[in-house]
Structure 1
């Protein structure tokens, strides 16, 4: 019997039917362990699980595959034991997050925050807005999310410019940022959090962006120097839209709450009704690949 462990009963339902010979158990890390937990070979953690990972891995000594339902690996990668393959949900949430990127860019350019506030106050207050046509949008992070965002931007007649750690056909290297940033109307961050990207957007990075430019962060909060960004927002020189920030959750009274020229969403880019079903459709397919001895997709760390 092949034992698959998911975090809760809702996940077990979303996982759907699997071939005969598979037993699905639910465990979210509590002290009371289900029967046959120690026999688990395929584990699906809670979303962005970072609690007592060493203990959870010890409880599953026969584990061979850990399948995430999110794309980021920074919370778990260093804890995965040798011999265990780690897979991500790359491609599952890209469309939803890219939609939020488009939403906040358009909302900012079309002055939606101004009009919403005027409506709240009962004021008829027309102002001149802007559009996406001919805008140059720098997308730092050329994975699935970057590509999904670029495709949507082209449909609005904008010009996406993709940037990755290493240059390849049609994609610039991060080493080229000093010359790319001054030409960007919008900068979108879609990079994973790594030692190279932590603090990437610092005071020097922001200073290279032109007056009135917009920074959109749907990557991780630690990619951006919060104090440096606050200084640019407060001066009125730059605008921003943050779905992720540092610290997070953003505490009451934090200056970001009242910073001008800023749209905040609470790490909600992937929070859509179909997120769970889409993620567990991938999990189901991965379990079937595992059972058939086929190559898994979205491998972030090989156990072989």
Structure 2
């Protein structure tokens, strides 16, 4: 008999994250219980014989204790949520995986685009031109800067930070990196200078924020730390909104001292009356850095590959594994 795989991808859609080829491969190898097609089906009925769950349904202690054949929980949303009893999963040898790496390429390219826009005022001057207020030649470049050989900081050097560092390499920046979860040697091997949070902010004219949200990093960028940024610094926010105190950010941006590109917000959609919408030194983005068709389609391929490896008694290589030491620190919330 084929191993049973439960497919419960919500809030993702099956056909968005699985190409027809990947879905065919999944069905060819496994007995797939598709809860998107059968929304009235009982997850608990199928758990005792399931080899894998693809998705992020609630899996508490009782559910996992019943799932004696379970070997994989493949989260296809991208975050490790607190709706899984990770201790029980680890105790029973269940791999808990995330599709987060699928977004790294898309997010890093988008972050670089935002940095270039902030550096040269591209979208700001486009808006001015549409109002009939364009400034020709050097008149619109008084605050323009180069990324080439710039002092650049990266906060958080996981999948997104490292992918962005690779894209920045041709610009030959001085790259300072703050990531308290990594040894200095790992940062240095990727061309970065390990730095403290304060030093990274003080010494960087362009700062990319990729930090995940934990109990320690919540409001890491607050009134004090934002105040360390040099005048005319550019801040690119594309990771998790909770790492920033948005009231403090608004206060800094309202003075005109800083520039920012913001893709994540504490309340989404951004309220129509938000004062952020009135600021010309801010690029507004609607949480769209990673969610492109190519990134979504990559998720299904990653799932199929790693399930096959685990079924053969080998470790997964494409998805990110939940770590017992870290998973309890995350404070992620679903992206809707």
TM-score scaled by length of structure 2: 0.79
CA contact (8 A) 1:212 1:238 kept: yes
Q: Return the match for 1:198 from 218, 235, 241.
A: 218
Alignment coverage as a number of residue pairs: 295
Could you tell me how far apart the structure 2 residues matched to 1:190 and 1:164 are?
10
By how many angstroms is 1:15 displaced?
3.4
Q: Return the match for 1:24 from 4, 20, 32.
A: 32
Question: Which structure shows the bigger proportion of residues in helix conformation?
Answer: 2
Distance 1:179 1:59, change over 3 A: closer
Secondary structure (helix, strand or coil) at the match of 1:229 reads helix
Name 1:33's counterpart in structure 2: 41
Q: Does 1:168 align with 2:190?
A: no
Secondary structure (helix, strand or coil) at the match of 2:293 reads coil
Name 1:68's counterpart in structure 2: 75
Q: Does 1:142 align with 2:157?
A: yes
CA contact (8 A) 1:15 1:283 kept: no
Q: Return the match for 1:87 from 83, 87, 97.
A: 97
By how many angstroms is 1:197 displaced?
1.2
Name 2:330's counterpart in structure 1: none
Name 1:232's counterpart in structure 2: 252
Name 2:331's counterpart in structure 1: none
Could you tell me how far apart the structure 2 residues matched to 1:228 and 1:85 are?
40
Could you tell me how far apart the structure 1 residues matched to 2:225 and 2:38 are?
43
By how many angstroms is 1:90 displaced?
4.0
Name 1:300's counterpart in structure 2: 322
For structure 2, the 5+ residue unaligned runs are 325-336
Could you tell me how far apart the structure 2 residues matched to 1:77 and 1:204 are?
34
Could you tell me how far apart the structure 2 residues matched to 1:235 and 1:55 are?
48
Please give the root-mean-square deviation of Cα atoms over the aligned residues, in Å.
2.7
Could you tell me how far apart the structure 1 residues matched to 2:282 and 2:245 are?
15
Distance 1:57 1:137, change over 3 A: farther
Name 2:263's counterpart in structure 1: 243
Name 2:308's counterpart in structure 1: 288
Q: Return the match for 1:219 from 218, 239, 243.
A: 239
TM-score scaled by length of structure 1: 0.86
Q: Return the match for 1:130 from 140, 145, 169.
A: 145
By how many angstroms is 1:105 displaced?
0.5
For structure 1, the 5+ residue unaligned runs are none
Could you tell me how far apart the structure 2 residues matched to 1:271 and 1:180 are?
29
CA contact (8 A) 1:25 1:34 kept: no
CA contact (8 A) 1:146 1:190 kept: yes
